[in-house]
Structure 1
Amino acid sequence: MGGVWLRPEERPRRPRLSLERIVEAAVALLDAEGVDGFSMRRLAARLDAGTMSLYEYVKAKEDVLDLALDAGISEIEIAGEEDAGWREVLTDHMTRSRRVMLRHPWIPALIGTRPLLGPGSLARSEHVYATLDRAGIEGPLLTAAVSAVSGYVHGFVAEELAWRSRFRDPDAEAALRARVQDLLERRAADLPTLAAHVRAGDADFDAGFELGLSIVLDGIEARISGR
């Protein structure tokens, strides 16, 4: 009598694993712990699953990292009007790339160590290559131009992330910058150029990124004009 209403409440079943859930959890774990803190055991714990159950969907930890990296890169929105200039398109795309990498600080650490052959990565590579191809760059020069732009962005963000991870207190950062500026001024006699031009107190990463990117694009534009 009473049936289901009188039986003890059963513990809800765990959601069945899927590759999509594993990748989503891997991205979250990497966001929280970074590459060094990532392990299949920790990933399984986040999914409330057994470690061995993950291997029904992937062959190795390296597969999960590849999938997570492609998922992160896929967050870079591909945008740009057909009639927009190549500089405008690349500036927009590289700015979006930086935002995504700041949101997922582990991406720069993985980009240089893994083949970017996932669908998200290839689609974004196609976008960048096609943009410069339409501008008239081709062959080895096209590959070199793409490498120069992407290398600048990855390197800038990697240094920015390293700095941000070390100096989370604005007051401590400002104090260090002031000491550096003071050192340069005191050594102006033997470091005249640094003393005259370096402003250690400038902590505007956004402005620095935009200016550096424009310098890289100026070099590409000079090559296009030279043709």
Structure 2
Amino acid sequence: MTREADQKTVLGSVWLRDEPEPTRTRLSRGDIVRTAIKVLDRVGLDTFSMRVMAAELGTAATSALYWRIANKNDLLELAVDEVLADALVPEGVGDWRDQVTVVVEAAYHALWMHPWASQLLPSHAGLGPNYQAVTDRVQAILKSAGFKGAYLDSAVSAIFHYLVGSAVTDSAWAAVIRRSGMDEFRWAREAGGALGVDAASLASYLNRESLAGPEARFSSGLRVILIGLRPRQLS
């Protein structure tokens, strides 16, 4: 008998095939995904595997894992989208720029808390319900502000390209430091000379709490983009 989770699709995404029927085990797909996020946070993307997941879940749950989720790519796609659920925050106040900022900063923060998710964005995100919900929220805010037609689509793309690009870039820096085994301050001291950059400036650039750090840069850059957008149609 072919497992339902093994039914492949030429469309290439777990979100474009039906979820397998429940088995007698109480372990749901949601349980597996939440466990995967914990494991990924602990061991990182390079070490993560279905074998590691099976060991984490235990022998009794291994069959449920392989029944409900066909392969590692499916599980990663599910995990990335689950992370983005944290971006579905209550609606913000203020003008449309303030409201967009609340949503997009929440998405960036969710990705920052799970650096492996940012690494997967180019290949494992975009079709899940939470990603779509975040996109729909931003689109609805812009539409209410008067954005229309092709200009609405372009504005949404500009915002999300900035979000994804920033998250991927910042996670790449974090990945290099993590592989070194050093904290960011020591890494900045050791690497600054090789990069031709002042160590103190590099440390500030990498430090999340710094006014020159990733989160501050992201917020400033997002504001630049939003100030440049206007509710109009492309001619």
TM-score range relative to shorter protein? 0.7 to 0.9
Matching residue of 1:98 = 108
Structure possessing the higher radius of gyration over alpha carbons: 1
> 1:180 aligned to 2:177?
no
Superposition deviation, residue 224 in structure 1? 4.0
Distance in 2, matches of 1:208 and 1:143, equals: 25
Matching residue of 1:146 = 156
- Report the CA distance shift for 1:117/1:53 in structure 2 as closer, same or farther (over 3 A): same
Superposition deviation, residue 134 in structure 1? 0.9
Matching residue of 1:23 = 33
Q: The residue matched to 1:55 in structure 2 has which SS?
A: helix
> 1:170 aligned to 2:185?
yes
Matching residue of 1:195 = none
Q: The residue matched to 1:106 in structure 2 has which SS?
A: helix
Q: The residue matched to 1:56 in structure 2 has which SS?
A: helix
The answer on whether the counterparts of 1:135 and 1:224 sit within 8 Å (CA) in structure 2 is no
Gaps of 5+ in 1: 1-14, 183-198
Matching residue of 2:43 = 33
Distance in 2, matches of 1:158 and 1:177, equals: 22
Out of 147, 150, 153, the position equivalent to 1:137 is 147
TM-score normalised by the chain length of structure 2:
0.71
Out of 144, 151, 156, the position equivalent to 2:166 is 156
- Report the CA distance shift for 1:67/1:215 in structure 2 as closer, same or farther (over 3 A): same
Superposition deviation, residue 53 in structure 1? 3.6
Letter of the 2:228 partner, please give it.
Answer: G
- Report the CA distance shift for 1:46/1:218 in structure 2 as closer, same or farther (over 3 A): same
TM-score normalised by the chain length of structure 1:
0.73
Letter of the 2:221 partner, please give it.
Answer: G
The answer on whether the counterparts of 2:147 and 2:233 sit within 8 Å (CA) in structure 1 is no
Which shifted more, 206-215 or 56-65? 56-65
Q: The residue matched to 1:38 in structure 2 has which SS?
A: coil
Letter of the 2:169 partner, please give it.
Answer: E
Distance in 2, matches of 1:153 and 1:177, equals: 27
In the TM superposition, what are the counterparts of 1:1-227 in structure 2 within 5 Å?
16-49=26-59, 51-81=62-92, 84-167=94-177, 168-173=183-188, 176-177=191-192, 180-181=196-197, 203=205, 204-205=212-213, 206-221=215-230, 224=232
- Report the CA distance shift for 1:164/1:139 in structure 2 as closer, same or farther (over 3 A): same
- Report the CA distance shift for 1:16/1:144 in structure 2 as closer, same or farther (over 3 A): same
Letter of the 2:43 partner, please give it.
Answer: E
Count of residues paired in the alignment: 195
Distance in 2, matches of 1:27 and 1:162, equals: 19
Gaps of 5+ in 2: 1-24, 178-182, 206-211
Q: The residue matched to 2:67 in structure 1 has which SS?
A: coil
RMSD: 2.8
% identical aligned pairs: 30
The answer on whether the counterparts of 1:41 and 1:51 sit within 8 Å (CA) in structure 2 is no
Letter of the 1:157 partner, please give it.
Answer: A
